[in-house]
Amino acid sequence: HPALALEGVGLRIGGARILDGVDLAVPSGELLGVIGPNGAGKTTLFNVVSGLIAPTAGRVRLNGDDVTRMPVHRRAVAGLGRTFQTSSLFGALTVLENVRQAAQARLGGASSVLRRPRGADAATTRAREALEEVGLAHRAGQQASGLAHGEKRKVEIAMLIAAEPSVILLDEPMAGVGSGDVPAITEVIRQLHRGGRTVLMVEHHMEVVLGLATRVAVMHHGELLAAGTPEDVMANPTVQQAYLGEAV
Ligand code: ADP
Ligand code: MG
Ligand code: MG
């Protein structure tokens, strides 16, 4: 089975067709760049995949299992992780506490009330490992609100790692990141992918997409316009046409 499959996914809200017949299979271990003009439906597609929005047509499969009607928290336990366009850290908690919470959610299960101290230790260990993987072990004890923006993005990726997802959705990981931080965050995403994880990444920085993606999918007006190698997609006249005169 592909790690993630969309089969004829559609979403109508009122009279508007937000997503239309999206068919996409993402093999395990792929880093798929998702591009397209603003308003194309990229974030909405991620919301459908993660369970925030139910599609009005089609199916979503995670490792072959139909998860179309599965609620967000169960999808997370089934191995789906995501970041958002805006930051989701608890500023008053330390970096380690933020990451530990993500690890605990996976280890303890959302409905577990009785937790043994052993489980707590395991969550701390996993959180420290995840911080090490993104190169932020030295920030563990600091309050999250005091971090630089680029570091916050790395902590969010550490939170993903700690939750051990098999499929990861990154929505504009470079949004708001200063150009000086782009190379370091690119490297963290590369590592995330090297760990054998399947990654879908919406990103407007084309040099980041082309530097990381093994394949690129192009969304336009809620449809999947094309998918293929970065070279093939960028040379596709339909894709070039879609970008003419549109802001990204
Ligand atoms: P992208 O991430 O590609 O910029 P979005 O997925 O955010 O695009 O939006 C796709 C389209 O769907 C836009 O035209 C947006 O206005 C519309 N849209 C998104 N969410 C809703 C909603 N809950 N209700 C109505 N329209 C929506
Ligand atoms: Mg947008
Ligand atoms: Mg978006």
Is the CB of residue 13 below 6 angstroms from any atom belonging to ligand 1? yes
Per-residue confidence (pLDDT) for residue 27, from 0 to 100: 97
Is the CB of residue 35 below 6 angstroms from any atom belonging to ligand 1? no
In order, the DSSP letters of the chain are: --SEEEEEEEEEETTEEEEEEEEEEE-TT-EEEEE-STTSSHHHHHHHHHTSS--SEEEEEETTEE-TT--HHHHHHTTEEEE-SS----TTSBHHHHHHHHHHHHHH-TT-----HHHHHHHHHHHHHHHHHTT-GGGTTSBGGGS-HHHHHHHHHHHHHHT--SEEEEE-TTTT--GGGHHHHHHHHHHHHHTT-EEEEE-S-HHHHHHH-SEEEEEETTEEEEEE-HHHHHH-HHHHHHHTT---
Most confident of 54-63, 70-79, 156-165, 182-191: 54-63
DSSP letter (8 states) at residue 184:
H
Most confident of 148-152, 187-191, 213-217, 234-238: 213-217
Which is the closest atom of ligand 1 to the Cα of 14? Answer: 25
- Of residues 220 and 108, more confidently modeled: 220
Euclidean distance between the first and the last CA atom of the chain, given in angstroms as a whole number: 33
> Which listed ligand is nearest to 170 at the C-alpha?
3
From residue 32, give the alpha-carbon distance in Å to each of 86, 146, 190, 199, 214: 21, 32, 12, 6, 6
Neighbours of 221 (CB within 10 A): 15
- pLDDT per residue over 96-155, tens digit each? 999 999 888 777 654 444 445 555 689 999 999 999 999 999 999 999 999 998 899 899
* pLDDT, mean of residues 54-60: 98
Is the CB of residue 176 below 6 angstroms from any atom belonging to ligand 1? no
Neighbours of 27 (CB within 10 A): 14
Per-residue confidence (pLDDT) for residue 110, from 0 to 100: 44
Q: Using DSSP, state whether 201 is helix, strand or coil.
A: strand
Residue nearest to atom 10 of ligand 1 (CA): 41
- Of residues 86 and 26, more confidently modeled: 26
Residue nearest to atom 5 of ligand 1 (CA): 41
Residue nearest to atom 26 of ligand 1 (CA): 13
Q: Please report the ipTM that was assigned to this predicted complex.
A: 0.90
Q: Does 245 have pLDDT greater than 70?
A: no
Which is the closest atom of ligand 1 to the Cα of 37? Answer: 3
Per-residue confidence (pLDDT) for residue 41, from 0 to 100: 97
* pLDDT, mean of residues 174-189: 90
Is the CB of residue 248 below 6 angstroms from any atom belonging to ligand 1? no
CA triplet 144, 149, 152: central angle to 5 degrees?
Answer: 45
Residue nearest to atom 12 of ligand 1 (CA): 18
